[in-house]
Amino acid sequence: MNPCALCILLLGSFFPPALCITTADPALFINGIPYSTRSYWMRRANKALQDVTRSLCPFAAFGTAIVNHTYAQGLGDLICIGANQNGQTGNPSLHGEIAAIANCTAILTDPKGRFRLTPSEAQAAFADLTLYTNAESCPMCASAIRWAGFREYVYGTSIDTLICKGWGQIRIASVDVFRASFDLPSRTRLMGGVLANETDPYFLWQYDPTYPCPRGCSRSPDGMSS
């Protein structure tokens, strides 16, 4: 047996094989950024929920933070946040990632804002940015991430976990969307499972009446947290 096959076999006994083969160990120092920094921004993606929806436990608990990490030092620069706004706006495509991309575009091109970029400069700016989302993107959002040409895409909870816990999903993993997008000029580094121990609880209560509500929330008689 070749050593590589043995390695996969051994790792497979500790980790789910699909995760191990398609995404890196989230604790690694990828693109020069320590796990503590990744965790900081994943927590910011969680907190975007509260900032945008004004609820501690929105049902559609999908939050995003978009960050510029290309500075040599420090945590990086937050460009914008976003959270799922389907319910608030009636727009079914406003998933957290799409809302954040729209918000960042508005912030980057705001004539009175920090950046004051032209539309073409704003489009080009995404190549420096990292998108953190507390759950793996659906194929619509994963495609938008590739179209935007982000430098990095980092998720917490996996689509597999969402499916296991009752969420209706279009069953195409982000790695499959990325694999199919080789015609696009940009490249995006994909990292998954980052701080999943803290993102998972946002998604485990909605369809499971025995799972505790998120901190600060309680279950209303219809079974929803509020």
Query: By CB neighbour count within 10 A (0-12 exposed, 13-18 middle, 19+ buried), where does 147 fall?
Result: middle
91, 93, 118, 197: residue in contact with ligand NAG (rule CB under 6 A): 197
Separation CA 206–CA 168 (nearest Å): 12
Query: Applying CB under 5 A, does 141 fall inside the site for Zn ion?
Result: yes
CB 133 → ligand NAG: shortest distance, Å?
A: 13
Show contacts of 73-80: CB within 8 Å, 24+ apart.
Answer: 75/37, 75/40, 75/41, 76/33, 76/37, 76/41, 76/130, 78/44, 79/104, 79/107, 79/108, 79/129, 80/104, 80/107
Please, which of residues 82-141 interact with ligand NAG by CB under 6 A? 82, 99, 103, 115, 125, 128
38, 44, 69, 95: residue in contact with Zn ion (rule CB under 5 A): 95
Task: Say which entry of Zn ion, ligand NAG, none residue 103 contacts (CB below 5 to 8 A, set by partner kind).
Answer: ligand NAG
Is the alpha carbon torsion for 207, 177, 89, 125 positive or negative? Answer: positive
138, 148, 196, 204: residue in contact with Zn ion (rule CB under 5 A): 138
Name which of 12 and 166 has its Cβ closer to Zn ion: 166
Task: Say which entry of Zn ion, ligand NAG, none residue 162 contacts (CB below 5 to 8 A, set by partner kind).
Answer: none
Question: What does DSSP assign to residue 65?
Answer: E
Q: Which stretch binds ligand NAG (CB under 6 A): 5-13, 145-153, 162-170, 194-202?
A: 194-202
Binding site for ligand NAG (CB under 6 A): 51-52, 68, 70-71, 78-82, 99, 103, 115, 125, 128, 195, 197-198
